[in-house]
A and B are shown apart, each in its own frame.
Chain A
Amino acid sequence: MSTKPLQMFRSALPGCEIAVLTDVSTGTVLAWDGSVKWPQEALDALCAQARQVLALGQRRAPLHEPQTAVLATALGVQCFLRAAPGAQEVLCCVLASGSDVDAALDAGAAACAILLDGPLRAEGGA
């Protein structure tokens, strides 16, 4: 899978340290793009976190199936976006404190559409 949509997504967001596309059903990193190279265990931990947060409150009102999750701590903001309702692909990104989270979520939704349905899907893997 090409990393170009992730690169474009991350470069458009000031303060975005890393963007990762993961399959939460298998815990597999599908693609990633970052300002620094994260060790594999850190990528795996981010993927595990995605699976945990998007499982909270499943089948319970008002969430039913969590679509996005945002975790804000003193170290920054982590965003997790399911690529589509019911999809196992999740876009994860780590933002600096003070970043525009709404803009990140909107851009993430657009990036997911390209990653899953766009013409770049058929290119070589990351």
Chain B
Amino acid sequence: MSHNDPIIAFRSALFDSAAFGSGEVMPQAIRTPEEAHRFFQTQIARTMLARRLVFLIDGVERLCCEVAGRRLLSATPCAEDDDDKSLLAFDALDDPGTIQPALDALAAEIGGWPAQGATVAVRIGPTALAQAAPRGGLSPARLSAAFGLQAAPAEPSDALTAFVDMAGTAIEAAAYLTGDMLYALKGEEPQIDALSGFLEDCLTEIDALPDDFFCPPGQGGMLVLRGSDGDAPAVVIGVLEELTILAHAAPQAVSTLVAAWAKTALRQ
């Protein structure tokens, strides 16, 4: 199967992540507690589908986390067998009295990684929480605040960034998907969560589209969908190279979106 064709690569990545849910982030150097915190927060921010992330320091398992919809649901040190030893438990997320102490303990645990080793890696696998994961959990922004981090910038393709910029106010919120990771491009966190939820709900339908649906091989294509509610945002699905953009847009701005896509993604 050729991965030069963007729609085939997109479908392949979706299928693989949905069917097998596994992957790995290769070892990366960590020298300071801030680097460790930022690495951890980035992995949470990039995990859209429900996954179990196991963090390894110099190849040794240290922390096991359940993540869904870019939210941290639980964190348990790997040396502990008893669930009561969890730093952050699934059923304690709604208790304000326990969340802050848990975040403090998590920050201390992760901040201690550089003293335990020189590299951090992540093993990604399926989770039993996949069907029951709530819309709660700790967001990347909450983690950043707990760790004292400034927001890390995203790294989208130049063409997708240019498309969002050129579309201007026509686009209300946008994110791009590569592999099974969703990265915010524009909009507030609730809007990105809405995009993420829509994509998760429609994975099966998008996967059923023909290989050449969005574009001739090697070129980009964009679909704009509007519902019967004239005030509801339009949904934009664009495919370009290895990336897919998902956006909510003003329903009356279809021409603006098409023109911006032609100039940036299609270079017409």
A interface residues, Cβ below 8 angstroms from B: 49, 52-53, 55-57, 60-75, 77, 85, 97-98, 100-103, 105
Contact = CB atoms under 8 A, between A and B. Distances in A.
B215 A63 contact: no
A102 B251 CA distance: 10
Contacts of B223: 53, 56, 69-72
B82 interface: no
Interface residues of B, number: 38
A73 B216 contact: yes
B232 interface: yes
B262 to A, nearest CB: 6
Contact of A68 (B202, B206, B226, B248): B226
B145 interface: no
Contacts of A62: 194, 198, 227, 229, 232-233, 235, 248
A40 B205 CA distance: 26
B214 interface: yes
B209 A67 contact: no
B235 A105 contact: no
Given A64-B228, A67-B227, A101-B258, A73 B219 contact: yes
Nearest to A105: B254
A98 B235 contact: no
Nearest to A75: B216
Contact of B235 (A63, A74, A103): A63
